[in-house]
Amino acid sequence: MVEQKKRFALFLATCDSSFVKKTYGGYFNVFVSTFGEDGEQWDLFRVIDGEFPDDKDLEKYDGFVISGSLHDAFGDADWIVKLCSLCQKLDVMKKKVLGICFGHQILSRIKGGKIGRASRGADMGLRSITIAKDAVKPGGYFGNQIPKSLAIIKCHQDEVLELPESATLLAYSDQCNVEMCSIGNHFLSIQGHPEYNKEILFEIIDRVVNMKLMEQDVVDKAKATMEDAEPDRKQWQTLCKNFLKGRSEQV
């Protein structure tokens, strides 16, 4: 009997920049190289352009990833409302969903949490986030060695202001009260970007400045955070893969 390939889908909520297209062939490749493994099938749905899977096809997937976005997760654009509706269906089906940045906020939104503009202002650059030890058990997504903190690249102006009642807080920081949370064993969401590296962040920063969306001093501080430090990409990869592939349960 031939073993079925594991199948995953990326809900892309942002447009590919010319830099990402030229360097990586698009964000889809960035996500698959970070979270994918040999022998898996990954499908792309550009939800920002109104591309969604049919409801009848949802059962075929082992897991889903929702990307970041320049759009507000509390917005009511048609595609955002449709994405929320789809995530509610995935919640009922108990399908694995990894939400990143915008995706993190969407998952809290559909479960009754409060999202909005970041209470301490936009956060951009490398940040150390504190793991909520009491909520994280050995052998869960983190493996047997639970770190006290992890470095991750941040790039957001919105945040989860209040967790849904059903959510468990897994990480926080001085800048953001909800850096990571889980809902049951099927939703995991992260405010930062496990898939980003320094060059992706710097290119976004430069674009944001050109669009006059951020002041130069904020940008300079963001770049300075990565002068002598790197994100813990390997640990984030392991954590996200453990979750998506169902290798361990957190609660």
Q: Which amino acids are annotated catalytic? A: 101, 193, 195
β-bridge pairing 187-190 and 96-100: parallel
Residues with Cβ < 8 Å from 141, sequence gap 6 or more? 188, 239, 240, 242, 243, 248, 250
Closest by CA to 239, choosing from 141, 146, 138, is 141
Picking from 114, 67, 69, the residue whose alpha carbon sits closest to that of residue 204 is: 69
Residue 160, sorted as left (phi over 0), alpha (psi -120 to 50) or beta, turns out to be beta
- Pull the structure tokens for residue 145: 């060695």
Q: What is the DSSP letter of 70?
A: S
Candidates 181, 164, 65; CA nearest to 129 is 181
**Residues near 85 by Cβ (< 8 Å), separated by ≥ 6?**
none
Rama region for 43: left / alpha / beta (φ>0; ψ in -120 to 50; rest): beta
